[in-house]
Chains A and B, each alone.
Chain A
Amino acid sequence: MTDFVHPALIFILGALPIPFLSGTIRKAYLVVVPSLAILAVLTMQPGSYGSMEFIGQNLQIAKVDKLSIVFATVFTMMALIGTVYALHLREAGQHVAAFVYVGSALGVVFAGDYLTLYLFWEGMAFASAYLVFAQGGGQAIRAAFRYLMVHITGGLALLGGILLHGTATGSLLFGPIEGGMGAGTYLILAGFLLNAAVPPLNAWLTDAYPEATVTGAVFMSAFTTKTAVYVLARAFPGVELLVWLGTVMALYGVLYAVLENDCRRLLAYHIVSQVGYMVAGVGIGTELAVNGSTSHAFAHILYKALLFMGAGAVIYVTGRRKLTELGGLYKSMPITVALYMIGAFAISAFPFFSGFVSKSMVVAAAGQDHRALVMLALTMASSGTFLHTGLKLPYYMFYGTDRGLAAREPPGNMLVAMGMAAALCIAIGVFPGPLYALLPYPVAFEPYTGAHITESLGILMFTALGFVIFLRALDPENTISIDTDWFYRKGARYFMWLAERPLARYEKAVSGVSDTAVLPFLHGSARAGLRLDLGGVDGIVNGIARSILDGGGVLRRLQTGVVTHYALAMIAGLTAAIVVFAVVWR
C-alpha cells in the first residue's frame, strides 16, 4: 500500500470514462470515484511527494500536512455530496467538469510549489466556468464569459506575481511569505483575494453563481473561495490588511443580501460574508484564529452547499428563482424546507449546529487578540446572516404569499444529498471533537459554555424579533443591485463608446491633418532635400573626386621611372633637410 495517491489524479483521470458510461453503471461509477478519493485522503501520510526538477526549479507536486488534509477531507466529502445531488443529470459534460473542478481544487490544496498551484488554479477557473455555460441561454452565457474573463485576469496577476516572487527569492516553493512584501507578493495576494471574492473583487461570484446550473452552483459554492482561503492561510497568515478586508467583507455581503431578490444570489452574498470571517481569521493569524478559519471553511462548505441544494431544489421544481415569484411551497415540499432550515441554523451558528463550533472560534480569536471592533462587526454580521438565510429567504420562498405554484419534492437523489449534508451539519455541531482533531493546531477551545450559548441565542432570537416587527420593510423588490461588476459591465460600454466616438474622431482628425498639411510639407521637404542632394552635396563630392583625380595625374607625371631623376630628387631632399637643420635648429 502506498502512502499517497493524489486525490486530484483520482478525480481528473476518473472524469475521462464518464462520457462512455450510461445508466446505472455510470451512477455507480460517479459515486465510487469520490468515495475512493475520500479513502485516499483518510489514509494519506504527511510528507512531500512528487519532487522533480523543471527548468532548473525544484517542484513539488504534493506536500501533505495537517492544513492540506483538513481541506482535502471536506473537499472530497463535498464532492461525494455534490455528485449524489447531480446523479439524475443525463448529460456527461457537467459531471466531467465537476470532477475536473474538484480535482483541480485538490491539486491546489496539495501543491508544494507555485507552478503546480498555478496550473491547477487555472484548471479550476475553466472547469467551473463550464458549469455556468452549461446552463445555456444568453444571460448565463454572458455571465459565464464575464466569470472566465475575471478569473483569467486574476490568474495573470497571480502568474506575474509568481514570476516576480520567484526571481526575487530564487525559489518557487509555496509556503509562508517571508521577508517584506514586494510587488510580486502583492500580485500573488491580489490573485488570491480575487478568488476569495474580497470586495471590490467580489462581483464575479455574485454575478455568476446564480446563473449556473442547479447542480453546478452547489459545486461552485464549495471550492473556489475555500481554495483561496486555504492558500491565504498557507502564505499570508497574520497579514494585518486581511483582518480589515475580512471584517468589511462580512458586513458587505450581509448589506447586499438585504436588497437581493434572486434566491441563489442572496446565498452568494452570504458566501462573501462568511468567507469574510475566514479571511479575518487568517489575518489575525494566531493559532486559535487559523484554527477558526479552517474549521469555519470546513463547516461552511457543508452548510452552504446544503442551502444551495435547497434553493436549487426549488428552482428545479418550480423553474422560478425570484423571491417575488415564490412563496407558499411549504405544503408541497416539507422535507426540503426542513433540510434547508438545518443549513440555515448551521450558517447562523445556532447551538448544536456546525457554524456554532467554528464561527465562534474566529470571533473568540478576535477577542483574544484585543480587537473589540472586529469582534462587534463580526457579531453584527451573524445577526444579518440569520436575518437573511434563516428568516427572509425561507419565509419568502417557502411561506409568505402562496403563489399557487404546482410543486413537489425534488428527486430522491437530491434529497439524499441534502440529507447527507444536513447530517454532517448537526454531527459537527453536536460532536465538534473529530473536526477539532483535524485542525492544524492543537485546540483548547470550548464552544459550549453557558454564557456563549445564551449570548448566541440572544443575538439570533432578537434578530428574529426585528424581522417579525419590520417584516414589511424586508419585502423583496423586483430589482437588481449594482455591485463592482458595474465597472466592467457598464464601464466597458463607456470605454467602447469612448473608443468609438471621441477616440475614433480624434484619430480621423489626426489623419485629416496629416493628409492636408503634413503630407504636402513632407513632399516639399523631400523635394528640397533631393535638390540639395543633387546640386550641393553631389557637387561637392564630385569636385573633391575630380581634384583627387587631377592630383593623381600630376603625381603620375612625377613618377618617371628614371633612376637619375629619383637620385636627383633624393639629393635635393637631403640638401633641403640639411638646410632646414642648419637654419632652423641652430
Chain B
Amino acid sequence: MIKHVVDFFGDEEYARQRHRLFYLVLILIVAADFAVPREHVEYLWERLPGWSAVYGFGSCVLLIFVSKFLGHQGGLMRREDYYD
C-alpha cells in the first residue's frame, strides 16, 4: 500500500492523474474556503474567502525569489571551498 502511494507521486505513468488530482484539490480548497462559516473575524483579510490561497502562493514566490536574489546578487552563496 505504502509503496503504491509513494510510486504514485514518482512514476511517469501517473503524471496526468497527479496533475488532475492536484488541481482538483486546489479548486476544492478554494470552494470550501467560500463555504465555511467565519465567526469572530478580527482582521480584514480573514473576511476574504480565498485570501489564504493568494497569500500562500505569494509567500512562496516571494521567498524563492528574495532568497535567490540575496544568494546570487547579495553574495550569500559561495563556492564550496570558500572556507578552505
Contact = CB atoms under 8 A, between A and B. Distances in A.
A235 interface: no
Contacts of B56: 383, 458-463, 466
A463 B54 CA distance: 9
A259 B29 CA distance: 30
Contacts of B64: 258, 387, 466, 470, 473-474
Contacts of B2: 334-335, 338
B22 A463 contact: no
A256 to B, nearest CB: 7
B1 to A, nearest CB: 9
B13 interface: no
A456 to B, nearest CB: 7
Given A464-B22, A465-B57, A330 B10 contact: yes
Interface in B55-71: 55-57, 59-68, 70-71
A337 B63 CA distance: 26
A10 to B, nearest CB: 36
A315 interface: no
Interface stretch (A121-129, A213-221, A477-485): A477-485
Interface in B2-24: 2-3, 5-7, 9-10, 22
Contacts of B66: 255
A462 B58 CA distance: 9
A379 interface: yes
Nearest to B29: A457
A489 B84 CA distance: 10
Identify which of B38, B46, B56 gathers the most chain A CB atoms within 10 Å of its CB: B56
B83 to A, nearest CB: 5
Contacts of B38: 451
A454 interface: yes
B43 A367 contact: yes
Contacts of A338: 2, 5-6
Contacts of A399: 9-10
A480 B5 CA distance: 34
Contact of A455 (B33, B57, B65): B33
Residues of B contacting A: mostly: helix
Contacts of A454: 29, 32-33, 36, 52
A380 B59 CA distance: 6
A473 B78 contact: no
Interface string A213-246: 0000000000000000000000000000000000
B10 A255 contact: no
Contacts of A179: none
A569 interface: no
Nearest to A375: B43
A338 B39 CA distance: 36
A489 B78 CA distance: 14
Interface string B22-42: 100110011011001111001
A480 B63 contact: no
A384 B63 contact: yes
Nearest to A458: B52
B78 A383 contact: no
A470 B68 CA distance: 12
A465 B63 contact: no
A480 B65 CA distance: 18
A522 interface: no
B71 to A, nearest CB: 4
B78 A334 contact: no
A458 B52 CA distance: 5
Identify which of A460, A477, A482 gathers the most chain B CB atoms within 10 Å of its CB: A482
A334 B29 contact: no
Contacts of A450: 32, 36-37
Contacts of B63: 254-255, 258, 380, 383-384, 387
A13 to B, nearest CB: 40
Given A255-B70, A479-B79, A481-B77, A462 B61 contact: no
Contact of B6 (A254, A330, A372, A387): A330
A570 B21 CA distance: 138
A501 interface: no
Given A470-B64, A473-B64, A480 B55 contact: no
Interface in A393-411: 398-399
Nearest to A460: B56
Interface string A188-220: 000000000000000000000000000000000
B77 A259 contact: yes
Nearest to B79: A479
B2 to A, nearest CB: 5
Interface in A464-523: 464-468, 470, 473-474, 477-482, 489-490
A383 B80 contact: no
A470 B57 CA distance: 11
A453 B43 CA distance: 17
Nearest to A261: B80
B9 A462 contact: no
A142 B77 CA distance: 21
B76 A383 contact: no
A331 interface: yes
A481 B76 contact: yes
A379 B77 contact: no
Please name the 7 residue pairs, one residue from A and one from B, whose CB atoms are nearest each other, closest first.
A466-B60, A458-B52, A450-B36, A459-B56, A258-B67, A383-B59, A462-B56
Interface of B: 2-3, 5-7, 9-10, 22, 25-26, 29-30, 32-33, 36-39, 42-43, 46, 50-57, 59-68, 70-71, 75-80, 82-83
6 contacts: A255-B67, A334-B7, A399-B10, A454-B33, A462-B53, A462-B56
Given A335-B2, A453-B36, A479-B79, 18 more contacts: A255-B70, A258-B68, A259-B77, A330-B7, A375-B43, A379-B59, A384-B60, A384-B63, A454-B33, A455-B33, A457-B29, A458-B29, A462-B53, A463-B60, A465-B22, A480-B77, A482-B75, A490-B83
Interface of A: 254-256, 258-259, 330-331, 334-335, 337-338, 367, 372, 375-376, 379-380, 383-384, 387, 398-399, 450-451, 453-468, 470, 473-474, 477-482, 489-490
